[in-house]
Amino acid sequence: MSLDAVLSQIDDDLPHALERLLDLLRIKSISTDPAFKGDCDSAADWLVADLATLGIDAEKRPTPGHPMVVGHVGPENGKPHLLFYGHYDVQPVDPLNLWDCDPFDPQIEDTKAGRVIRGRGSSDDKGQLMTFIEALRAWKAVKGDWPCRITFFFEGEEESGSPSLVPFMKDNAEELKSDIALICDTGLFESRTPAIVTMLRGLLGEELTITAPDKDLHSGMYGGIAMNPIRVLTRIIASLHDDQGRVTVPGFYDDVPDLPDDLEAQWQGLSFDHAKFLGDVGLSHPAGEQDRTPLEMIWSRPTCDVNGIWGGYEGDGFKTVLPSKAHAKISFRLVGNQNAPAIRESFRAMVEGMLPPDCTAEWKGHGASGASAVETSDPMFEAARKALSEEWGIPAAYVGCGGSIPIGGHFQTILGTEPMLVGFGKDDDQIHSPNEKYDVESFHKGIRSWARILDAVT
């Protein structure tokens, strides 16, 4: 039976594939919030049950956090052994009032840009994860067997720093070894160009609490004489960038490589429309290092962002409180050989050196992973690139990615396996934001893309 028959089966089965995805999206598997622990467990159960309908014997495997799902199928037939990774957990949904619908009552919507699947996790990453499963479902239905040995590996802590991932991969290294790790958690380039990501930024998260007075005070009584921790915290945060947009943490750029000439040339060929990229979110000026191109800012340069800040009174009206504490969640995107623990240490030392008398800093570390680059010499990469180009009618590109998907680096360092990062998200999917969506086209052509890749590499 031909690949065409598999692609036709995918087309015919799309309505059912969408039903299955909506079913998975209804599970509130927010991994960062302990209140949703049971939901994360349910999402893992759902995946085990869905793989069982394909005759795949997968298991929910416990960790100190949320469970992994691991399964194996197909013959050792001399073809490459593929591993497929995705994550079933999702981001929190606040601010809830900015959603136009219930984030966990997903809907298929017609929009002027086409049909979309609306709901938390539709794009990141449940919709993407299901593209691979649906491709295999069609393959099995048409061909009656499997193309090669395939291992499934699904995680439930990707959105909360993956605390159990490395120990689990180390403890189960033999079982998780494969010839290549397929990862579906990235996007198309500029919404239409299929892409294989070969550069990923790392991520370092820090939560900082500044304490000044030991209790909340009345600013009428103490204002002017008592140090306000918001004043201290804002001064620290304001100092993290210089006026050229560079991060000021000492040693921050020590292990940041310049972009290789060949990649620079390829990226220039992509003619990235940064005006549209920024215009889509109401901006016009690239805010990063002023001597770098926009693509460098998001793919190959490190950054610092404050992801949350709070202290004092936030309610309606006014309260003249002089608070005891002020807080911020700060993250760094890392590139090249930047060393996450060393940057954490330098950052903390810098902050503590800025504290005025009477003030203390408390720290909570959230994840620390370096950047990674993929070695693409295995012919499977070129085969996949050709398959993607055929499906989308546009030559597929090797690209960078501003996000941090540490799993790629873990496959390299723990298992010695190169990761192939292929995904179908679009820039306007609003992942991590209210009204997250995944285009039905991304889902449909994503499934077809995997069928083509399976055919091409086996």
Q: Which of 47, 297, 422, 451 binds a second copy (CB under 8 A)?
A: 297
Closest approach of Cβ 13 to a second copy, in Å?
31
Residue 244 makes contact with a second copy by CB under 8 A: no
Hey, is 31 helix, strand or coil? coil
Closest approach of Cβ 446 to a second copy, in Å?
18
- Are the C-beta atoms of 91 and 429 separated by less than 8 Å? no
The contact mask relative to a second copy for 14-33 (x = CB under 8 A, - = no) is: -----------------xxx
Residue 198 makes contact with a second copy by CB under 8 A: no
Any idea what the Cα angle at residue 299 is, between residues 448 and 198, rounded to 5°? 50
Q: Whole-angstrom Cα distance, residue 398 to residue 381?
A: 10
Q: Which of 224, 269, 353, 393 binds a second copy (CB under 8 A)?
A: 224
Residues 42 to 71: which contact a second copy by CB under 8 A? none
Nearer CB in complex with a second copy: 222/253: 222
Nearer CB in complex with a second copy: 52/287: 287
Number of residues that bind a second copy (CB under 8 A): 101
Residue 311 makes contact with a second copy by CB under 8 A: yes
Q: Whole-angstrom Cα distance, residue 185 to residue 432?
A: 13
Q: Using CA of residue 12, residue 13, residue 17, residue 19, what is the dihedral sign? A: positive
Nearer CB in complex with a second copy: 80/400: 400
Residue type, 327: H
First to last CA, the chain: 15
CA atoms within 13 A on the CB side of 204: 22
Residues 78 to 97: which contact a second copy by CB under 8 A? 91-92, 94-95
Residue 433 makes contact with a second copy by CB under 8 A: yes
Nearer CB in complex with a second copy: 310/363: 310
Q: Whole-angstrom Cα distance, residue 131 to residue 447?
A: 4
Candidates 213-221, 252-260, 341-349, 384-392: pick the segment binding a second copy (CB under 8 A). Answer: 213-221
Candidates 139-147, 253-261, 353-361, 410-418: pick the segment binding a second copy (CB under 8 A). Answer: 353-361
CA atoms within 13 A on the CB side of 101: 15
Task: Kindly report each contact of residues 239-242 with a partner whose C-beta sits within 8 Å and lies 24 or more positions away, as own/partner.
Answer: 239/354, 240/304, 240/330, 241/304
Nearer CB in complex with a second copy: 251/312: 312
